[in-house]
Structure 1
Amino acid sequence: MRADVDVLVIGAGQAGLAVSHELTAEGVEHVVLEGESVGSAWASRWDSFTLVTPNRFIRMPGGEYRGPDASGFLPRDAVVAHLRRYADSFGAPVEEDRPVTALRPGRDGGFEAETPLGGILARRVVVATGAYQHEYRPAWARELARRVPVLGSSEYRSPADVPGEGRGAVLVAGGGQSAVQLTDELYAAGRDVVLAAGSAPAIPRRIGGRDTVEWLEAIGFYEQVIEAQPSPTVRFASNPLVTGAQGGHDLNLRTLADEGVHLCGRVLGVDGDRVVVADDLAASVAKGDAGYRLAWQAAATASAEWDLPAPPPLPPESPPPAAVEPPHLDRIAAVLVACGYRPDYGWIEVDGLVDEQGFPLQEGGRSLRAPGLWFVGVPWMTCRKSPLLMGVGEDATAIARELAAA
């Protein structure tokens, strides 16, 4: 077949750049197409965003963090700058502002990629478009939007973006890291906030002077594979609640309640002028507590193996915070929806490409439906850390080596 390029990489975030670095090292001809700019997914986060894992866990091949604050947490713009320097360091062949709008098998083999600037023929393709591609909004969010302003977490940049200051409460709906971090920021800015909390584990920021991410890595937490999990729905589970903001600290449902944030159960729907919520706040707090205890046990296990002093005793648990009644619609100034993201590969025209949850059917990144098609950065692709800055490089290296050998 005639091909414009041997390998086409789609996406210039950490996954696509890591693949490009390793293909360059292997001498494989390739081009990287990026719909916006290098690291644009990070650039789209809110103004005060920081990493949740310490900087030392930025481990892309040839793009490891080497700055002065390995225990700190890079803010949003510094993450983007790090990725830009990484791309520049090896001359990544990135074409920015060139989105791929469709990808299909070529008539004579390989693949045809459509872009606004014309098509590209490639022998092989690596899709590196991020862990999740579109924000999830439940049906009740659309119903609420007819009555009050509704923003998604992807639209939020700062408290100034949330309308209705002084005219009522902000209802934040969601259970993951974004939901608790945005709730914390809005409350600190003086807004009246009610968090309709979902369920997620919590972890301490530090135990015995070490970041909990270090303890979890020591016991193999990030090497866990999806086959060992109770259900593949773990791919939609929230990451543990904690924050890297202001130097990093505990942030979970209990700490928010201690600050004065009002909490209620997750949103179920709307009934007249009422927001209907589940009676599940206590269960969500218990889920957070369970994660907190497991992290503490991880520190105890690892410290014993390393012959280090045992961590201090786990602080005793206090009673869970009481749930409040959600405000009536006429007392809600705005709703901020932070209910997570979902995969979207509908632009790839391959029958049976994804499973029932929308994730690519793949093995080690190799598509099980289209020879020559690869994925990287997919949640749980090879293990828990596959989409993360600490783990995506390992998958990228393995895939580049296979492409070079073919």
Structure 2
Amino acid sequence: MRADVDVLVIGAGQAGLAVSHELDRAAVEHVVLERDRVGATWADRWDSFRLVTPNHTIRLPGGEYSGTEPDGYLGRDEIGDHLRAYADSFTAPVEEGTAVESLRRDADSADSPGSAGSDGSGERDGSDVFIAETSTGRLRARRVVVCTGAYQREHRPAVIDEIAREVPVIGATEYRSPAATPDGTVLIVGGGQSGCQIASELVHAGREVVVAASRAPAMPRRVDGRDIADWLIDLGFFDQTLADMPSPAVRFASNPLATGAGGGHDLNLRTLAADGVRLIGHVTGVDGTRVVAADDLAESVAVGDGAFGEICSAIGRLCAARGLPVPGLPELPATELTAADPPGLADLGLVVNACGFRPAYDWIAIPGIVDDMGFPVQENGASASVPGLFFAGVPWMRTRKSPLLLGVGEDAEIVVRQLAAR
């Protein structure tokens, strides 16, 4: 079976576009299939969404931020505009509105001369033709790079379904604005980055908000007038690998709490409480009339406080090691936060499920490509079991920054280097 294209790239977000840019530079024939439009995933964020890292950390190859606000935080629509301009800058071969519904390989195809598994002399190169069934028809590719985003499926604990029988529930990607939110108290289940940002926006709009906290690390927005992201870059935080972490489960852990709203400011459980958000422990169920929450708010606050302190201490050590003056380091108050009473179901107008996301590669009909947590088994983006299959934009693929605008370009370069060498 002869391939229709040398390399198929699936997804036209930052990962897919970075891969396409590098393939273009290496003169490797390819096509990018995108189920919606370029950068569409960012449109799933709420109306006022902004990056949580400064604009200058947009470091896509050939698509770095070059605007007038390097220390600002692009808004949702601006991020999409940036990605579309990036695609246009090198005429990325993107076919929008083309969803890849399944991907499989045809092992027999590698036996025919001139096919995807042959170098034209009848010698096998170890790979098979991949067959992608798409919304516009079948496509055959010699190699495939899967760039479908950091996480693809909303994590919906069983307790959310229990609550949904009594109160309207939406996912964090369905939330748009306070004006579009039904009357009544809003319960946000999950105190990670998205949940806390949504809670902050709602409470500042005058809404009654309850957050069922989770154990998310906190950090200051700025230290000594410098953005925390710049400090973290200097500390090597974004270059940490999965091997540096105590457990692979870190891939499901919350990112440090941050916001780019209002020019960027501190955001954590303590700032939410000071703004009037009611905090409770994690939700365990409903008892018929009320939400039931665990008595573990103090543990969640302690995790956030501890991370805040550790980051500040690390900045102090870094400055001392470099012979620089140690700046004044912020401290969180030591006061205990008291858990509120869980809300009554009759008082709730809406529940926002902000429990994070999980990987979803079940549409790839090739056994053994993911581990027991659902993440691709790979090395430098190359599948450990399937020659010719690659990934980019995967959390912790190489480092902590692998899926980020800051680091996905580095991974794309490494993936394409392998593709160009074959």
Name the residue aligned to 2:224: 208
Judge which range, 33-42 or 302-311, deviates more.
Answer: 302-311
Name the residue aligned to 1:158: 177
Name the residue aligned to 1:3: 3
Matches within 5 A, 1:229-378: 229-315=245-331, 317-378=333-394
Deviation at 1:380, TM superposition (A): 0.4
Deviation at 1:148, TM superposition (A): 1.1
Name the residue aligned to 1:30: 30
CA deviation vs aligned residue, 1:71-98 (integer Å, no higher than 9, x gap): 0100000000000000000010000000
Name the aligned partner's letter for residue 104 of structure 2: R
Matches within 5 A, 1:12-51: 12-51=12-51
Task: Please report the TM-score for the alignment, with normalisation by the length of structure 1.
Answer: 0.97
* Residue 164 of structure 2 is aligned to residue 148 of structure 1: no
Report if aligned partners of 2:21, 2:92 keep a CA contact under 8 Å in 1: yes
Please give the alpha-carbon distance, in whole angstroms, between the structure 2 residues aligned to 1:378 and 1:296: 29
CA deviation vs aligned residue, 1:221-252 (integer Å, no higher than 9, x gap): 11111012111000001000111111000011
Please give the alpha-carbon distance, in whole angstroms, between the structure 2 residues aligned to 1:183 and 1:120: 44
Please give the alpha-carbon distance, in whole angstroms, between the structure 2 residues aligned to 1:307 and 1:228: 27
Report if aligned partners of 1:141, 1:337 keep a CA contact under 8 Å in 2: yes
Aligned with 2:9: secondary structure?
Answer: strand
Task: Please report the TM-score for the alignment, with normalisation by the length of structure 2.
Answer: 0.94
Please give the alpha-carbon distance, in whole angstroms, between the structure 1 residues aligned to 2:277 and 2:243: 38
Q: 1:180/1:2 Cα in 2 relative to 1: closer, same or farther (>3 Å)?
A: same
Q: Percent identity?
A: 59
Deviation at 1:316, TM superposition (A): 5.4
Please give the alpha-carbon distance, in whole angstroms, between the structure 2 residues aligned to 1:37 and 1:99: 10
Aligned with 1:101: secondary structure?
Answer: strand
Name the residue aligned to 1:191: 207
Report if aligned partners of 2:12, 2:34 keep a CA contact under 8 Å in 1: yes
Please give the alpha-carbon distance, in whole angstroms, between the structure 2 residues aligned to 1:131 and 1:357: 14
Please give the alpha-carbon distance, in whole angstroms, between the structure 2 residues aligned to 1:127 and 1:315: 43
Q: 1:313/1:375 Cα in 2 relative to 1: closer, same or farther (>3 Å)?
A: closer
Report if aligned partners of 1:215, 1:302 keep a CA contact under 8 Å in 2: no
Name the aligned partner's letter for residue 245 of structure 1: A
Matches within 5 A, 1:109-120: 109-120=128-139
Please give the alpha-carbon distance, in whole angstroms, between the structure 2 residues aligned to 1:87 and 1:302: 38
CA deviation vs aligned residue, 1:50-74 (integer Å, no higher than 9, x gap): 0000001000100000111000100
Name the aligned partner's letter for residue 288 of structure 1: G
Name the residue aligned to 1:64: 64
Please give the alpha-carbon distance, in whole angstroms, between the structure 2 residues aligned to 1:316 and 1:101: 48
Name the residue aligned to 2:406: 390
Report if aligned partners of 1:254, 1:320 keep a CA contact under 8 Å in 2: no
Please give the alpha-carbon distance, in whole angstroms, between the structure 2 residues aligned to 1:88 and 1:313: 44
Please give the alpha-carbon distance, in whole angstroms, between the structure 1 residues aligned to 2:287 and 2:75: 40
Deviation at 1:331, TM superposition (A): 1.7
Aligned with 2:104: secondary structure?
Answer: strand
Please give the alpha-carbon distance, in whole angstroms, between the structure 2 residues aligned to 1:301 and 1:25: 41
* Residue 190 of structure 2 is aligned to residue 174 of structure 1: yes
Aligned with 2:174: secondary structure?
Answer: coil
Name the aligned partner's letter for residue 193 of structure 1: V
Name the residue aligned to 2:123: none
Q: 1:313/1:30 Cα in 2 relative to 1: closer, same or farther (>3 Å)?
A: closer
Name the aligned partner's letter for residue 206 of structure 1: R
Name the aligned partner's letter for residue 62 of structure 2: G
CA deviation vs aligned residue, 1:79-118 (integer Å, no higher than 9, x gap): 0000000000001000000010000012412200011111
Please give the alpha-carbon distance, in whole angstroms, between the structure 2 residues aligned to 1:287 and 1:34: 39
Name the aligned partner's letter for residue 77 of structure 2: D
Deviation at 1:317, TM superposition (A): 2.6
Report if aligned partners of 1:262, 1:323 keep a CA contact under 8 Å in 2: yes
Name the aligned partner's letter for residue 369 of structure 1: S
Identify unmatched segments of 5+ residues in structure 2: 110-127
Please give the alpha-carbon distance, in whole angstroms, between the structure 2 residues aligned to 1:396 and 1:320: 45
Name the aligned partner's letter for residue 191 of structure 1: R
Name the residue aligned to 2:85: 85
